[in-house]
Structure formats: structure tokens, C-alpha cells
Chains A and B, each alone.
Chain A
Amino acid sequence: EPEVTQTPSHQVTQMGQEVILRCVPISNHLYFYWYRQILGQKVEFLVSFYNNEISEKSEIFDDQFSVERPDGSNFTLKIRSTKLEDSAMYFCASRAQMTLTYNEQFFGPGTRLTVL
């Protein structure tokens, strides 16, 4: 069964360093997302991406964050200068062509980002 994959599974970085989190969405999906989950808290939306551009972003997704689909398969999240509060699980999700009635997203296993 097709699935979303993410690498690395765990990333440790120093505060102020840049990190790139990578995702390979399900191959025929057209909509891509990043969410994060701080330990013990809810899953929070960061950004959605369609047709090679951001379609929606949350307040969390400030100028330190960027997303890119550099080729036909990868979808990346870059954090330019990490802060301690960026420590979280980051989930990539993808969705097939939108139906008229529902928004069914499939999630990857996540990347645990630890900022020291």
C-alpha cells in the first residue's frame, strides 16, 4: 500500500542552525502539507502546498520556514535558523485530488527534531 515516507526519523541540531526535513508523498497525490506536534500537545497545521506554491499557511509558519518541491517526488521543509521552541515532531501529509466533500490526508511517520 502506498505511503508517505519521511527522512530523517530523528534530527538533532544546534540552535541557530538550518535544517531540512524531507518527505516523499504518495505518488499520485497533488496536495502536500506539513504539520508539527510539540511533545504532549495537539497536531498543528503549518502549511499546505499545491501546484508548486503555498496555498495556505499558519501563524507558526513565519519567515524562518520555507517549503519546496525540488523534483517530482520530494517535498521539503526548511527551517533557516532553528530555535529551542522548534523542537517537535514534524509530519508530512499528502492528499489526492480534492473531492467536493472531503479532505482526506495521509500522514508520514514523522521526523523528530531536537534543537539544543
Chain B
Amino acid sequence: TQLLEQSPQFLSIQEGENLTVYCNSSSVFSSLQWYRQEPGEGPVLLVTVVTGGEVKKLKRLTFQFGDARKDSSLHITAAQPGDTGLYLCAGDPYNTDKLIFGTGTRLQVFP
């Protein structure tokens, strides 16, 4: 069974702080997506990382795919209240069409 564990599970920080969310697995993935989900809504795609070691930046968000394609991280610089939400990683296993979702990290940024 392929599992994606995210840490931390919950994170409460003040506006302006930096944070990193981790997504780890013992399985190798073809690619990995990061989504953000608001309460009562569907996951919204933020980024896809494909190549081992790849780094992608989306404004204040930096995403990295591990060299072995088993893990990923999301780093947010100078967090803002608008970053509040549930962050999900989702792995794309080889030879299958489904996404395996992580356990999620709930981020709250206080003004």
C-alpha cells in the first residue's frame, strides 16, 4: 500500500514567519502534485513536480521534489493570512492512473 505522510499535521504561525511542510513516502512516484483545499471545497492544484531534485517557485511558495522521487517539501516565505488552508500533496504512482493523497497539513496564519 502506497502512503504519503505529511508533517506537521497542524501549523499555526504569525504573519511574516516562514514555514516548511513535508510530504514523505517509501514509494517512488512518477510526479507529485501539491494542492490547497478550503473548507467545503475541492482541492485546487498549485504545482506539479516531475524531475527528481526539481525546485519550482510560485511567488512566496517553493516546492521541491526529492532526488529519489519519494518525498517533497513546500516552503512558504513570509506567510500571510491568505495562505491559511489545508495543503495536500498527491503522488502519481507508476503504472496507475490514480493519485495517492497525503494526510494533509492544516495551516493557520494569524495577522
Contacts and interface: CB of A to CB of B under 8 A. Distances in A.
A102 B44 contact: no
A75 interface: no
Given A102-B92, A103-B31, A107-B42, A45 B98 contact: yes
B40 A112 contact: yes
Interface residues of B, number: 24
Q: How many A residues are at the interface, by size bracket?
A: 20 to 34
Nearest to B98: A45
B43 A91 contact: yes
B45 A44 contact: no
Nearest to A109: B42
B48 interface: yes
Interface of B: 30-31, 33, 35, 40-45, 48, 50, 88, 90, 92, 96-104
